[in-house]
Amino acid sequence: MTAFIRWEVLLTADIVTGIILARLVMRLNIPAVISRYLPVSPLPPSTTAALSMSLVSPKAGAAIIADSYNHGTISSSAAALSILALPFPPFLTRRFIPLVTFASSSASLAGLMFSLSLLTRSAVRFLLTLSILRHRSSSTSPASSFILPAKISSPPLIREILRSLPHAWLMSALTYLLLPPLERWTASYFTGNFLPLSGWTAAVSSIGSTRSALILAGSSMRTGALSVTQAYFALILGSGLGTVIRIFRQDAGYYFGLFPPSFAAKLLIMNAAAIIPLVGVNLIFAGLALSLWP
């Protein structure tokens, strides 16, 4: 119960902080200011501002998109694509170097291959999303169509926060209660002859903790229980499943707190649909490597 309360408190803090930051950014007209320095960019100004804010906090960037969407200054498709693009800038600037350093030191070549695969997967999704967004926005002038915050009738801040929290709490409670059994059920089906037991152990660990999985994989490689390609496949398999599960566990409550329920559900489906094919491609390459160099 204590862990659940802490989960809900952290979610509430994230939503309140995001809404306040988004309101401040829009009041200061930061999207329009940024657009003046990027006159050739076909991206909507709120998307550019959200991508910039995501370097500090992806959730704050999502709140900016939510504020623009709720006020009608960005279309639903542009808002959804903008949300999909937000995770990559902070991953590249803040997470990748620590990840590749730890992965290489813990699991040598398998860890390096794993971290580069995650970077490639994230970069491909970011570039594809940005390409679609630029193509859809190129027919209009985002800067000229952007409505200044001063001309928008915004609900009082407290009312907006109180309206957002119930949906977030409900969805967060559902994911908190339902996803752990799903994770255990998924892990129970990890079996097969193409990986030894230590490989499946690393894969299961990778669902919940990348660092623990890298340590387990590295230890198994040093004792000869796993080859490089076996460790790499195990890490990619567990990480792929964990990524899909975390979309619902970590993002569901926040999306339902910022967006209307129907649009939040659409975001979750689009997020999963955007990452599952890339996870599949990762697994195919890892499987090919395993079959060629067992």
pLDDT of 145-168, one tens digit each?
Answer: 444 344 444 556 566 666 666 766
pLDDT at 217: 87
Domain boundaries, the chain: 2-292
More confident residue, 249 or 117: 117
Rounded CA separation 40/141 (Å): 10
Contact (Cβ atoms closer than 8 angstroms) between residue 237 and residue 283: yes
pLDDT at 148: 39
pLDDT at 6: 74
Percent with pLDDT over 70 in the chain: 70
pLDDT at 151: 43
pLDDT at 68: 83
Contact (Cβ atoms closer than 8 angstroms) between residue 217 and residue 235: yes
**pLDDT tens-digit series, residues 28-68:** 655 555 555 554 456 777 788 888 878 777 777 888 888 88
pLDDT over 80 at 9, yes or no: no
Rounded CA separation 196/180 (Å): 25
pLDDT band at 121 (very low <50, low <70, confident <90, very high): very high
Tokens of 7: 């989960």
More confident residue, 202 or 16: 202
Rounded CA separation 266/147 (Å): 25
Weakest-pLDDT range from 46-55, 224-233, 266-275: 46-55
Quote the radius of gyration of the chain (alpha carbons, Å).
Answer: 21
Tokens of 121: 């997967």
Among 264, 66, 271, 247, residue whose Cα is nearest residue 161: 66
Contact (Cβ atoms closer than 8 angstroms) between residue 86 and residue 58: yes
Rounded CA separation 175/286 (Å): 30
Q: Which letter does DSSP use for residue 140 in this model?
A: S
CA atoms within 13 A on the CB side of 229: 13
User: Region 204-216: what's the mean pLDDT?
Assistant: 81
Global pTM exceeds 0.85: no
Residue given tokens 């649909």 in the structure block? 273
Among 118, 123, 87, residue whose Cα is nearest residue 100: 118
More confident residue, 172 or 53: 53
Contact (Cβ atoms closer than 8 angstroms) between residue 239 and residue 255: no
Weakest-pLDDT range from 125-134, 167-176, 247-256, 282-291: 167-176
pLDDT band at 142 (very low <50, low <70, confident <90, very high): very low
pLDDT over 80 at 101, yes or no: yes
pLDDT at 123: 92
Provide the total of helices (H) and of strands (E) in the chain, helices listed first.
Answer: 13, 0
User: Region 72-79: what's the mean pLDDT?
Assistant: 84
Rounded CA separation 98/160 (Å): 37
pLDDT over 90 at 107, yes or no: no
- Per-residue buried b or exposed e for 174-205, using 16+ beta carbons within 10 Å of the residue's own CB: ebbeebeeebeebbeebeeeebbebbbbbbbb
User: Region 169-175: what's the mean pLDDT?
Assistant: 67
pLDDT over 70 at 22, yes or no: no
More confident residue, 5 or 144: 5
User: Region 122-134: what's the mean pLDDT?
Assistant: 88
More confident residue, 196 or 99: 99
pLDDT at 196: 78
More confident residue, 209 or 221: 221
pLDDT over 50 at 242, yes or no: yes
Rounded CA separation 163/40 (Å): 38
pLDDT over 70 at 234, yes or no: yes
226: left (phi over 0), alpha (psi -120 to 50) or beta: beta
